[in-house]
Amino acid sequence: MTDKLIITCAMTGAEVTKEGNPAVPYTVNEMVVSACEAVKAGASVLHIHARRDDGTPVQDAKRFAEILSAIRKECPKVILQVSTGGAVGMSRDERLGPLTLNPEMATLDCGTLNFGGDDIFVNTENDIIYFAKVMQAKQVAYELECFEKGHVDTVLRLVKKGIITQPLRFSFVLGVNGGMSGETRDLAFLKESIPDNATFSVAGVGRYEFSLAEQAILCGGHVRVGLEDNLYLEKGVLAKSNAELVHKVVEIASRLGREIATPEEARRILRMEIK
């Protein structure tokens, strides 16, 4: 039987700005409002980046602590997944800042890629191993962020070496300029490349967000949406909030007959230890 659908909301990221869409949250209060609305709409996981009030992306533990505890107060059950990707150009120790807070879940980025224009998002094999060891030592559940097929192959090689361990929770982030595109064949190829007992979620960047969501819902995957990945509800129409994007996925899932997972159900599906 297909598992219920886990919806992750990536609320703010490190690249998008209020100039692109005024609903992108920066302040702690904006994050809390956005988080609560997204959870109410059906998100069971929140993918968290921190921003200063002026929008500057940061990975420092103090800012993350403020955001996490403020969200936790209002949404006690949701899974909080901190980003260790941060923003392009940050050092690996800077990126690991939020792990000092022993979060329940974090992202582990599984390879380097050109990231839009001239930027390079660096995740060498040594970086991946370094991050994995820190996360395992702290018993943080990690999600394997793969922006293209080579990243999946890196994961599978590191699994064979015993460096990345079960359970494997993939997140395919598709449509970044420099990474893999988000056509139907791309997700089909990635899905058939991973072990049957692995879970996967799909984050379609920009115009791929909802077509990939629909494909993932149909083929037993999970879905990430949010302003980090896409600013539009539909072509030419800015999303008014993160919740509006989550709600659209809930509607697609309902049309396709897939139920939505609660945070507790999501923990079970993702085989997460309770911290």
Q: Smallest distance from the beta carbon of 107 to Zn ion, in angstroms?
A: 6
Tell me if 83 contacts ligand KMH by CB under 6 A. Answer: yes
Distance, in Å, from the CA atom of 86 to the CA atom of 20, rounded to the nearest integer, reads 19
Task: Kindly indicate which of the ranges 13-21, 36-44, 209-217, 248-256 contains the residues binding ligand KMH, using the contact rule CB under 6 A.
Answer: 13-21
Residue closer to Zn ion by CB (options 224, 258) is 224
| Closer residue to ligand KMH in complex, CB, 4/111 | 111
Picked from Zn ion, ligand KMH, none, the partner binding residue 103 (CB below 5 to 8 A depending on kind) is: none
Q: Segment 101-160, which members bind ligand KMH (CB under 6 A)? A: 107, 109, 115, 121, 145
Q: Which is nearer to ligand KMH, 152 or 250 (CB)?
A: 152
Compute the CA torsion angle 25, 26, 32, 35 (nearest 10 deg).
Answer: 40
Phi, psi of 156 (to 5 degrees): -65, -35
249's contact among Zn ion, ligand KMH, none, with CB below 5 to 8 A by partner kind, is none
Pick the stretch among 7-15, 180-188, 203-211, 264-272 that binds ligand KMH (CB under 6 A): 7-15
What, of Zn ion, ligand KMH, none, does residue 98 touch, CB below 5 to 8 Å by kind?
A: none
Smallest separation, CB 10 to Zn ion (Å): 6
Q: Which are the contacts of 185, defined by CB distance < 8 A and separation ≥ 6?
A: none
Cis amide linkage into residue 167, ω under 30° from 0: yes
CA-wise closest residue to 239 among 6, 68, 12, 7? 12
Could you tell me which stretch among 79-87, 155-163, 243-251, 258-266 binds ligand KMH (CB under 6 A)? 79-87
Q: Sign of torsion, CA 53 70 38 173? A: positive
Which of 9, 11, 14, 35 contacts ligand KMH by CB under 6 A?
Answer: 14
Residue by residue, DSSP assigns 11-46 as ---SS--TTT-TT---SHHHHHHHHHHHHHHT-SEE
Residue 206 and residue 217: Cα distance in Å, rounded?
A: 18
Distance CA 47, CA 110 (A): 17
CA-CA-CA-CA torsion sign (87, 90, 92, 93): negative
Instruction: Please identify, among the stretches 10-18, 66-74, 216-224, 252-260, the one whose residues bind ligand KMH according to the rule CB under 6 A.
Output: 10-18
Q: Which residues bind Zn ion (CB under 5 A)?
A: 83
Contact residues: ligand KMH, CB under 6 A: 13-15, 83-85, 87-88, 107, 109, 115, 121, 145
